[in-house]
Amino acid sequence: MTGKYNDIINLPHHVSTKYPKMSMMERAAQFSPFAALTGHGDAIEETARVTMDRKELDEQAKEDIFQNLQRMLEGNVEGVITYFIPDPRKDGGRYATVTGYAANIDEVKNSLTMKDGTAITVADILECSLL
């Protein structure tokens, strides 16, 4: 076989005496700042993040919630409240549950404050049960 690299094709691989050999991780890391799709992984992760739709309550469910909130406030009764938290970046949100005692209801802001400091918009409450 004759070719223009025949004179060097069988030479041993050069090993530097000045620099220590890099690990595969170090070699790969030196090219990471040149990633063509910076932020693409974050965008895919955000798109894949699942949110839930807000459930609409009928009048009877709203009345039951109101009565249980009144009992929590008047009788210092512990309750379990499930409420909707809107997602700041996309449509929908998630539901959270808090257990504790109600401190007060602000009728101007239409919000409930729990004794632990949790503030909940009354319109976002899905369920309220007493313990």
Query: Domain spans of the chain?
Result: 59-130
pLDDT at residue number 90? 85
* DSSP structure string for 3-60: -TTTTTTTSPPP--SSSPPPPHHHHHHTTGGG-TTTTHHHHHHHHH---BPPPPPPHH
Show the tokens assigned to 101. Answer: 């005692």
pLDDT at residue number 64? 93
Averaged pLDDT, groups of 10, the chain, 131 residues long: 82 90 87 70 81 90 92 89 91 92 89 91 92 86
d(CA 34, CA 31): 6
d(CA 75, CA 1): 97
CATH number of 59-130: 2.30.30
pLDDT at residue number 33? 65
Q: Within a 13 Å sphere around the CA of 110, how many CA atoms are in the beta-carbon half?
A: 5
Task: Tell me the three state secondary structure of residue 106.
Answer: strand
DSSP code for 113 = E
pLDDT at residue number 127? 94
pLDDT at residue number 43? 82
Q: What is the pTM of this model?
A: 0.65
pLDDT at residue number 107? 87
Q: In what order do the strands lie in the sheet with 119-121?
A: 119-121, 111-114, 93-106, 78-86, 125-130
